[in-house]
Amino acid sequence: MGKVISGKIFVLDDNIDTDQIIPAEYLTLVPSKPDEYEKLGSYAMIGLPDRYGKFMEVGEIKTQYPIIIAGENFGCGSSREHAPIALGAAGVKAVVALSYARIFFRNCSATGELYPIESVDRLCDLFVTGQEVTIDFAGDRIINHTQNLTYSLKPLGDVGPVIDAGGLFAYARQTGMIAARS
């Protein structure tokens, strides 16, 4: 993977749950409908406490933060696929966290919406919202351009090609595991 993702970061800490990512009241939106997918993204992170600041500006449908930095147990709580879908619809490309709830990590690969990358260091204590970074997949590193420092990331492993393909079904079609759509 020679892939890179660059942009501003939004920094969170530990135990960000799926109710904070997308509250249950918005789960009636159907992500397969383009207008509802877009609307779902506009509600991403609406359940966060005020201390984090605004993830989405009022009236916007895309965030200015394509990368989220978090602590431990990101995506804990309810096992809703809407959580990574809402983040992807909002324009998030990757979450870099110390650890993930297994179901959130699994839903990232199932949907192909975003890359759940594990950090080696506790970056949420070292980074600040708004800093500019680049994630270098080939080098398993994140470069904080604001600090002019580089930090190691854990390799994405087998989940990388699945997300690259656009999710489990797209990957299965691409690799011949299931028949391509006619």
Give mean pLDDT in consecutive 10-residue pieces for the chain, a chain of 182 residues.
89 97 93 92 95 93 97 93 96 98 95 97 98 97 98 96 93 89 74
Residues 6 or more apart from 33 whose CB is under 8 A from it? none
Token pair 């394509």 is found at 66
User: Could you tell me the pTM of the whole model?
Assistant: 0.94
Give CA–CA dist 68/93, Å, rounded.
9
pLDDT at 2: 65
Give, in order, the Cα–Cα distances in Å from 89 to each of 16, 85, 95, 146, 180: 18, 6, 14, 27, 25
pLDDT at 1: 46
Is residue 123 within 8 Å of 151, Cβ to Cβ? yes
Q: State the pairing for strand pair 149-152/141-144.
A: antiparallel
Give CA–CA dist 157/68, Å, rounded.
20
pLDDT at 179: 86
